[in-house]
Copies of this chain bind each other. A is one copy, B any other.
């Protein structure tokens, strides 16, 4: 194994050059820019790293699929994506977003952390084994999609239709990070999401507000409908909303208790006097990771410019997202939302469905979790932080549930990596350690089927 790590030490700069090469090619899924070009460049690069691969069609942007046989019967599936967020606002970048730049021991550019840096780190870890030993200790598969930044709408169907192709023993998630103390976070789950737009309509056109005596106001109907969804104490009132919520296990609760608190920093950074319902300490972490949400992302009706306009609007819209926890299902929640509105007299309010992903968590008792923890201790020289679930969202159910794979985050990011924001960056030290971390995980995984 030392020879593998030595190889990484003497070749990471070539991998860094390849991250820059990959990041010079824009691949903005939200804007439809450069996706096919990036898939082709990536396939070529994977071949260079010794991972045979092919570009598979999906209903959306193509999937890049790679596979390399290893020394043991174990197979590890890497989930990644080659699309990136739009670079805007470009004027806030210190250097052009698609001209990756190294300075102060960091690499800056759109996609360096999310998710192209992670792709190349994984490729170098595998190449190190191939160069030193002829082949990696386990078989590896890559599923690299091009629609993660726009909700992975076509991924669940692709995974469901390719169960055999994607069969494996564990999945390594697209990325992962260390905290400010240098401890790697081993995140084991993600929440799901249901994103909808509600719309109420009234008269055919806006009318003078003196008509409010007799002309129905859709802004009022929307406000009443929204207020019926959640009470002032943050309880979501949709019948059956909490039915499928699964209580966290004792191990998950212990892990959350052990997680460092960043409560005061967060409160200060956001200028808040207190959090929702005044929660703090363990209650805060528990609520944040294990509770579902019903959130107003936006609402608009009528005149909202300067000064006063006496108008009765003809239309009102709200965008809502529900963050879901196991075993809630986005489709079920959508049905329950419709039923709730209907039974409260709001059948006139339409629901446009925009985005859906289901939640999933890998149990802490999974042998794969112990393997990743051991690898983390070895490479980072410190105890990792086990995070039973992120509060964020991704297409994790396709892997944890559809394919039945234990799934853990591991990657090259740090708390100031600024994914989705200007000056996205990674530290070179994290890049090097992230490559070694993947190598260490693969090495240990050979025992997964033993």
The interface of chain A, by Cβ under 8 A from chain B, is 151, 191, 193, 195, 197, 202-205, 207-217, 219-220, 223-224, 226-227, 230, 232, 269-272, 275-276, 279, 284, 287-289, 291, 293-304, 307-313, 316-317, 319, 321, 323, 345, 354-355, 390-393
Contact = CB atoms under 8 A, between A and B. Distances in A.
A191, A227, A294, A355 interface centre (most CB from chain B within 10 Å): A227
Contacts of A193: 310
Contacts of A275: 214-216
A297 B308 contact: yes
B223 A276 contact: no
B204 A271 contact: yes
B310 A210 contact: no
Count identical subunits in the complex: 2
B308 A354 contact: yes
Contacts of A212: 293-295, 321, 323
B312 A272 contact: no
Contacts of A224: 227, 232
B354 A217 contact: no
B291 A213 contact: yes
A214 B284 contact: yes
A197 to B, nearest CB: 8
A300 B300 contact: yes
A295, A312, A313 interface centre (most CB from chain B within 10 Å): A295
Contacts of A284: 214
Contact of A316 (B203, B213, B299, B308): B299
6 contacts: A195-B308, A197-B308, A214-B276, A217-B296, A224-B232, A307-B354
A408 B3 CA distance: 100
Given A213-B276, A299-B302, A345-B232, A195 B227 contact: no
A215 B293 CA distance: 11
B391 A213 contact: yes
Given A298-B313, A302-B296, A308-B355, A213 B272 contact: no
Contacts of A300: 299-301, 304
Contact of A297 (B204, B288, B309): B309
Given A195-B310, A211-B391, A215-B272, 10 more contacts: A210-B393, A212-B294, A213-B289, A213-B391, A215-B275, A219-B298, A298-B311, A299-B299, A299-B300, A299-B302
A288 B215 CA distance: 10
Given A304-B298, A321-B308, A392 B204 contact: no
A390 to B, nearest CB: 8
A276 B209 contact: no
A219 B222 CA distance: 13
B302 A203 contact: no
Nearest to A263: B214
A191 to B, nearest CB: 7
Given A296-B302, A300-B299, A392 B272 contact: no
B323 A209 contact: yes
A210 B392 contact: yes
A220 B390 CA distance: 24
Contacts of A215: 270, 272, 275-276
A207, A227, A270, A308 interface centre (most CB from chain B within 10 Å): A308
B209 A321 contact: yes
Contacts of A316: 299
Given A215-B276, A227-B223, A297 B303 contact: yes
Contacts of A214: 275-276, 279, 284, 287-288
Contacts of A323: 209-210, 212-213
A358 B301 CA distance: 27
